[in-house]
Every structure is written in C-alpha cells, then in structure tokens.
C-alpha cells in the first residue's frame, strides 16, 4: 500500500523531546507518530517509547520502503532505506515473470518492493526466525508470494533448484564485536541473529554464496548487500564458487551491493 502523502504537523514539544533523545530526523519522526496516534494519550505513549529507544517502525507498525508501507512487527529486523539501492539494482536485472528469492527476508520488504517495481514476479522468501516469517507473510501475500521458515536454502521448495533468476540477500553483515557499538534501537530491539555476521561480518555471505549455484538458473544473479570495507571478502566468497562478480555502489543510498552471476 502506498504511504499516505500527508500527515498532521507535530507539536513543537514532541520534536524537541525526540531531538533531545538523539533522533536525527526528529521532525519527520514526530510527524509520523502524530499521524499514527488515534488519541493524545496514545501519542504520548508512542513518544515515550521512541524516546526510550524503540524503533519508530515498530512503534507505528510499518516502514516506508521504496514508497510502500511495509508491515513491521516487534522482534523483526527493520528494513533500512539504504537497502532500497539493492532493489533498484535488482530491478535493472529483472523482468516480468522473474523467479525471485528474498533470502533472510525479515519483513519481506526487498521482494515486495521488487515485485512492485517490475510489475509481476514469482516471489519466494525465507527466514530462520519465526517472527520474521509471520511478519513477511503479511507483506508478501499482497504480491502473491510465498514465505518459508528455515535456515537459508533448507527453507526453499526443492522445485526451485536451478530456476531462480534473482536471489536477493540482505543477510547479517555486522561483525559480532561491532554489535555492541550499534544504536540502542538496533542492538536492544532487533534480534541479534538478524545483525550478527560472525567475526568479520561475512560468515552468512559465504554460506549464501556456497549454495547459490545450485538454485540459480543459468545467467541468474545473486545480489548481496554488504559494506564498502567488506565488499572484497563478499566478492571472494562468490568467486570461489565460480560466480562472475561486480560491485555497485551508491553514494545517495550509502550502500554497496555485490552482484554475482552464474555463467551461461
């Protein structure tokens, strides 16, 4: 569902409280909270939760992602704006009818946004967390997709072997030791399994790359969101599996994506 174009102007006091709590986009967040609350008491409760560090998207129950309203539930990784670049990159490679897998899907935002951008895809999503699967089903059902529960490729139907055109992976890539340095809204309110990429942050990327060739169609693409400093390791994980790689970066989104392709 498209995000409503306008919301009420927030009270200045709310903006000041959010700014004092460290919210960088305090005015925008105050506007979202004001629009989401049905009563003054509900608004006050929402503001208190945000001041205490709870993610805005969890409080209001949705995230604005690629111009879509994506449902977000407690205990599920919140889609980041930078990941919109992965969708943009994937859309350039997709076509109507593409078979798409959203791996480590969280809310399912990547697959849903790609389906909206392309028009129609055969969408499958998977996550190891039951909370994420439940949330993703709310979002993915709207575009006719399916969501499966399990560890990476173990979750997928066997009939997808060798059929996948695009495999999207915003897998965890925060090095374990860096999680404690993340903002409270992430390290205290999002599941560590959705953040922890192992000692160097690339453990899950290696596992995704290892299984990709069995599932991708000839000429199919694996797209992995990573960081600029980790890109070389992510590339290495894909190349050792015989995949052809390229790295695309966006200053606008502050995002780096590794594209790994199965040779035809």
Q: What token pair was written down for 51?
A: 């001041």
- Tens digits of residue pLDDT in 44-88: 999 999 999 999 999 999 999 999 999 999 999 999 999 999 999
- Tens digits of residue pLDDT in 114-147: 999 998 899 999 999 999 999 999 999 999 999 9
**Which letter does DSSP use for residue 15 in this model?**
H
Query: In sequence order, which residues have a C-beta less than 8 Å from that of residue 68 and are 6 or more positions away?
Result: 1, 2, 3, 109, 112, 113, 116
Per-position pLDDT tens, the chain of length 264: 334 445 667 778 999 999 999 898 999 999 999 999 999 999 999 999 999 999 999 999 999 999 999 999 999 999 999 999 999 999 999 999 999 999 999 999 999 999 999 988 999 999 999 999 999 999 999 999 999 999 999 999 999 999 999 999 999 999 999 999 998 889 999 999 999 999 999 999 999 999 999 999 999 999 999 999 999 999 999 999 999 999 999 999 999 999 999 998
Q: What predicted TM-score, i.e. pTM, was given to this entire model?
A: 0.92
């Amino acid at each position: 569902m498209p995000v409503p174009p306008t919301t009420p102007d927030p009270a200045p006091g709310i903006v000041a409280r959010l700014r004092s709590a460290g919210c960088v986009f305090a005015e925008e967040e105050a506007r979202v909270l004001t629009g989401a609350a049905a009563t003054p008491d509900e608004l006050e409760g929402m503001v208190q939760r945000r001041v205490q560090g709870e993610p805005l998207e969890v409080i209001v129950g949705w995230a604005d992602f690629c111009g879509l309203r994506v449902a977000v539930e407690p205990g599920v990784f919140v889609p980041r704006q930078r990941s919109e670049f992965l969708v943009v990159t994937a859309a350039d490679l997709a076509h109507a009818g593409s078979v798409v897998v959203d791996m480590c899907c969280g809310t399912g935002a990547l697959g849903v946004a790609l389906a909206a951008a392309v028009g129609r895809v055969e969408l499958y999503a998977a996550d190891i967390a039951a909370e994420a699967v439940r949330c993703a089903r709310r979002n993915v059902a709207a575009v006719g997709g399916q969501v499966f529960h399990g560890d990476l490729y173990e979750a997928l139907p066997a009939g997808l072997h060798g059929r996948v055109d695009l495999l999207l992976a915003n897998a965890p890539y925060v090095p374990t030791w860096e999680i404690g340095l993340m903002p409270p809204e992430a390290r205290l309110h999002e599941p560590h399994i959705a953040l922890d990429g192992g000692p160097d942050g690339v453990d899950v990327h290696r596992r995704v790359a290892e299984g990709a060739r069995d599932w991708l169609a000839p000429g199919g693409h694996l797209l992995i969101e990573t960081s600029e400093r980790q890109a070389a390791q992510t590339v290495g994980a894909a190349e050792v599996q015989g995949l052809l790689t390229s790295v695309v970066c966006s200053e606008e989104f502050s995002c780096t994506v590794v594209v790994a392709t199965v040779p035809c």
